[in-house]
Structure 1
Amino acid sequence: MSHKVTSVWKESMIFESDNPNGYMFNLGQSENTNDPYKPLGPKAVMLSSLAACSGLDVVSIAEKMKTTFDDLKIEVEAELTEEHPKTYHAVSVDYHFYGSNLDEKKITKAVDLSIEKYCGVMEMFRQFSKVKTAIHFHNNYI
């Protein structure tokens, strides 16, 4: 299976990109907070992709394990190298689960399966970065 995207330069430091599903989004840099393109930073999108990839795994696996949670928040923080090309050399992924009577054992297993087996973006990050993960449970979240 292959994926293909096309990115088109719009103006200044803005590119419009599609994805294999056909949806369009803007990537680039803008100093203007009111920029109508509202571009996403390419490196930050990589971090969002990591969170979404693993999050999709976790939700799917938890559903199959018949365990639930009210909310899931994944925070990804990364450090860039000082020299060009600037790449992420250290990444931390924090999974925050919210709910009542969270089944910590099943949820931990779902996260571990994502981290160790299913999340391709996580595996790609491991090729160039040290990745740390942590799970946080917030029981009786209101």
Structure 2
Amino acid sequence: MKATVSWSKELQFIGKSSSGHQIEMDGDGAKAAASPMEYVLMAAGGCSSVDIISILSKARQQVTDCTVNLDSERAEGTPRVFTKIHLEFVVTGVDLSEKHVARAVQLSMEKYCSVSLMLSKSCEVSHSYRIESA
């Protein structure tokens, strides 16, 4: 995997992935785009959500929506690294099995989500889930 990040203007940058996609980043208080740290946080939510949807689909669960609410704390001083991240998964569907949802979340957070697992090496990562009926 490769990527490039190029300066656009002021403290704004364009990231381009080797798969041909691009994002804007803003290091000046996220005025024009998300900050790099916001993208790291969203990447944890995206990576784990992919796992959960994949696992639940294989279990033939009728998922209609999956949202992850992320809450984080950062160090006061420089570097402003994450010290805590909490992921709350809200899985919505028809007749969802709590056993399947719990297993999907656990597998993602403990085995498959490379972003969350990488972050857990340097900060506290916790998770919870809620099931809602469609």
Q: 2 CA distance for matches of 1:68 and 1:114? A: 18
Contact 2:41/2:70 (8 A) holds in 1: yes
User: Residues 38-77 of structure 1 correspond to what in structure 2 (within 5 A)?
Assistant: 38-77=32-71
Question: Whole-Å Cα distance in 1 between the matches of residues 30 and 107 of structure 2?
Answer: 41
Secondary structure at 1:107 match in 2: helix
Identity of aligned residues (%): 24
Distance 1:26 1:62, change over 3 A: same
Note closer, same or farther for the CA distance 1:31–1:89 as it changes in structure 2 (3 Å cut).
Answer: closer
Q: Superposed, which structure 2 residues align to 1:1-142 within 5 Å?
A: 3-30=1-28, 38-139=32-133, 141=134
Task: Write the deviation string for residues 94-119 of structure 1: whole angstroms up to 9, x where unpaired.
Answer: 00012232211111111111111111
**Displacement of 1:20 after TM fit?**
2.3
- The TM-score with structure 1 as length reference comes to 0.88
TM-score (norm 2): 0.93
Quote the Cα distance in structure 1 between the aligned partners of 2:63 and 2:15: 34
Give the number of equivalent residue pairs: 134
Asked if the contact 2:62/2:94 (under 8 Å) is kept, the reply is: no
Give, in whole Å, the separation in 2 of the partners of 1:7 and 1:134.
34
1:31: Cα distance to partner?
Answer: 6.2
Deviation beyond 4 Å, 4+ runs, structure 1: 30-33
CA distance in 2, matches of 1:53, 1:16: 21
User: How far, CA to CA, are the matches of 2:112 and 2:49 in structure 1?
Assistant: 11
Q: Secondary structure at the match of 1:62?
A: helix
Amino acid at match of 1:83: G
Structure 2 gap segments, 5+ residues each: none
- After superposition, give the CA deviation of every residue in 1:43-102 in whole Å (9 maximum; x if it has no partner): 010011000000001111111111122111101110010110010001100000122322
* Pair member with larger Rg: 1
| Root-mean-square deviation (Å) | 1.5
3-state SS of the aligned residue for 2:66? strand
